[in-house]
Structure 1
């Protein structure tokens, strides 16, 4: 039988590390925040310690796991191939640029979109996990295309669409977004559609967010009240100072649901 695998539960260097059997079942996990190894298969303790040793630091405690919550049980049953947490910002665009056959202008637009998603992804990934923040990227959604970023934290759930501002003025209306002299784009409608789908799938309120990256000026029509319009410098303060609406167990339960690829493939309740 092949050996154990160590897989991250989220972004590299943060969150938990899970030790899985070749069939995907977890036998232990290492929690970086508490510096504790929780062992599910005590007969494999030495093997678990051996594969985790390169990732350990300081004094580490080891023992049976605490009584699992419903979110813990769901996460432990999540097959690695269905886990969206390791997705990088712009994951789908990276594949298109590497293997696609788009023309020069289309590839230029793809690179701009990728840069915008990566820039905004860096901001969202920097939100402190110790304060209950979680972020997912590049979620493929049937009928919607994709959700650039899904952010979950004490203030709620946010569906973020990143748009390149191209160092020009951006004008946000109810239905269309115009950057410089380019043709208007239906990004406000896309943001609403993605947030509505996410709300139905997760069965929780989801706020649509437009993130304008590198725009020199952003003008928002007074009638736009349901969409939050942010730029990277203002995004973190907006999220971290917003009023609390979710308790930590609620955030974690929604995060576990959202990171499961199968969640987004099933029909959303109307």
Structure 2
């Protein structure tokens, strides 16, 4: 059948590919992570396969859409304005930068923070094929925002990102120092934020600090509860960690965490 259109959804290279009729009605989708084609209209099956053929790789399973799980049903009922999954790394900073006066120190600082969050966000998003789910700019009343919330086989991680600025970073139990700047209380912040996130999700959340572009990172030997991540080693550090969560648990926690109301409800009820 002519006129079928293949349209991407989600993050480039990772989301589904939808096959639509000329009037926009979806007749199938291809889940690239599961390598499965779900056909909604069986009379278009051959045309769907022809349209998707350039995008397929390996052994592809074909059939009707799988029966939705409880997590799927909660996700489908989620209002678009309550869904955190589309957030880009540094989402809140992007808004603040539009109002910051040009040439000011505050704007330069926000630009550095945005670049750092975007770099770490790209590194974390690349973990999705390994079974990880990632949220950016998660609102946490009393703490502002969690820069990145990672949910995957190794558990849940609350990540605070700090620009390394190509300088030496020293991470202690309570303070973080980058170059010759004043020490920052980031270790304390991420420790407390992870504890608050754990109470909200009713799960163990591990605090973490990410230091993109740091020339060198020195970690105090007494610091054992906070993971310190750097772009070149962040992926191996997380993917090689012992398994703590299985796929159904990851999806259920991700469905819960992507809902803005999950984070606001305990503070507004």
TM surpasses 0.5:
yes
1:91–1:56 distance in 2 versus 1, CA, 3 Å: farther
**Residue in structure 1 matched with residue 66 of structure 2 by the alignment:** 66
Q: CA RMSD in A?
A: 2.9
Q: Does 1:168 align with 2:167?
A: yes
- Shift in Å, 1:61: 7.6
**Residue in structure 2 matched with residue 197 of structure 1 by the alignment:** 196
- Shift in Å, 1:34: 3.0
Q: Does 1:112 align with 2:112?
A: yes
Whether the 8 Å contact between 2:28 and 2:37 is mirrored in structure 1 is no
Question: Any idea what SS the aligned residue of 2:98 has?
Answer: helix
For residues 266 and 53 of structure 2, the distance between their equivalents in structure 1, rounded to whole angstroms, comes to 39
Whether the 8 Å contact between 1:11 and 1:85 is mirrored in structure 2 is no
**Residue in structure 2 matched with residue 91 of structure 1 by the alignment:** 91
For residues 212 and 119 of structure 2, the distance between their equivalents in structure 1, rounded to whole angstroms, comes to 7
Whether the 8 Å contact between 2:120 and 2:210 is mirrored in structure 1 is yes
Q: Which runs of 5+ in 2 are unaligned?
A: 1-6, 20-25
- Shift in Å, 1:16: 3.8
**Residue in structure 2 matched with residue 239 of structure 1 by the alignment:** 238
**Residue in structure 2 matched with residue 219 of structure 1 by the alignment:** 218
1:162–1:226 distance in 2 versus 1, CA, 3 Å: same
Whether the 8 Å contact between 1:176 and 1:187 is mirrored in structure 2 is yes
Q: Which runs of 5+ in 1 are unaligned?
A: 1-5, 20-25
**Residue in structure 2 matched with residue 34 of structure 1 by the alignment:** 35
For residues 36 and 54 of structure 1, the distance between their equivalents in structure 2, rounded to whole angstroms, comes to 9
**Residue in structure 2 matched with residue 139 of structure 1 by the alignment:** 138
For residues 18 and 67 of structure 2, the distance between their equivalents in structure 1, rounded to whole angstroms, comes to 17
Q: Does 1:254 align with 2:253?
A: yes
**Residue in structure 1 matched with residue 3 of structure 2 by the alignment:** none
